């Protein structure tokens, strides 16, 4: 039985930054929601372990790319929301160009239509 392989470990690590930044570019979000979104959008191919996301978020926060704020959620408890900083927006732009460059190179090799960067 053939099943599409899950993303390799180093690819998961490398793609976590552009994924988090892109999700937050759509608006503020919190850890659990980010993981759900990635699972949903990747069709289950990218499965982040929940514990791994938070070190990534905290690293991005210390690098000044995202910011956070404790806010009351609808359940009445406080939740830590993350949002993109202006540095983060710039970093996302660079990430996007780099990932698309890789994507286009592979697309040409595999004879798939490249996309505009």
Partner 1 sequence: MAGRSQHVEPIMENQTRYDLNAAIESWRQELAAQAGFTAEVRRELEMHLRDAIAGFQQRGLNDEESFWLAHRRVGQPKQLAEEFMKANSAAVWRERILWITVGTVGYYELTTGHGILSNLLDPFGRHTGAWLDLGLFLIPCLTLIGLTLMIRCSHVPRPLSYFGRTPGSPGFLASVLSVVLLVTVLFAYFSAEKIGRSANDMFSIGAMIVMEQTWLFSAAWPAMMISIVFLMPREPTQNRKAPKHA
32 lies in the site for partner 1, by CB under 8 A: yes
We find the least distance from the C-beta atom of residue 109 to partner 1, in angstroms, to be 18
Distance between CA atoms of residues 109 and 107, nearest Å? 5
Among 31, 66, 84, 95, interactor with partner 1 by CB under 8 A = 31
Among positions 41-100, residues that touch partner 1 (CB under 8 A) are 49-52, 54-56, 58-59, 62-65, 67, 70, 73, 75, 77-80, 87, 91
Phi, psi of 110 (to 5 degrees): -95, 5
Q: Are 100 and 26 in contact (CB under 8 A)?
A: no
Q: Which is nearer to partner 1, 36 or 105 (CB)?
A: 36
Comparing CA positions, the residue from 55, 71, 74 lying closest to residue 63 is 55
């Amino acid at each position: 039985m053939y099943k599409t392989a899950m993303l390799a470990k180093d690819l998961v690590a490398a793609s976590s930054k552009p994924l988090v930044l892109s999700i937050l570019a759509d608006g503020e979000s919190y850890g659990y929601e980010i993981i759900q979104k990635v699972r949903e959008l990747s069709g289950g191919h990218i499965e982040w372990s929940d514990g791994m996301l938070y070190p990534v978020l905290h690293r991005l926060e210390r690098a000044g790319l995202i910011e956070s704020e404790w806010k009351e959620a609808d359940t009445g408890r406080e939740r830590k929301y993350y949002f993109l900083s202006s540095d983060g927006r710039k970093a996302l732009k660079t990430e996007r160009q780099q990932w698309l460059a890789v994507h286009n190179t592979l697309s040409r090799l595999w004879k798939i239509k490249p996309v505009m960067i």
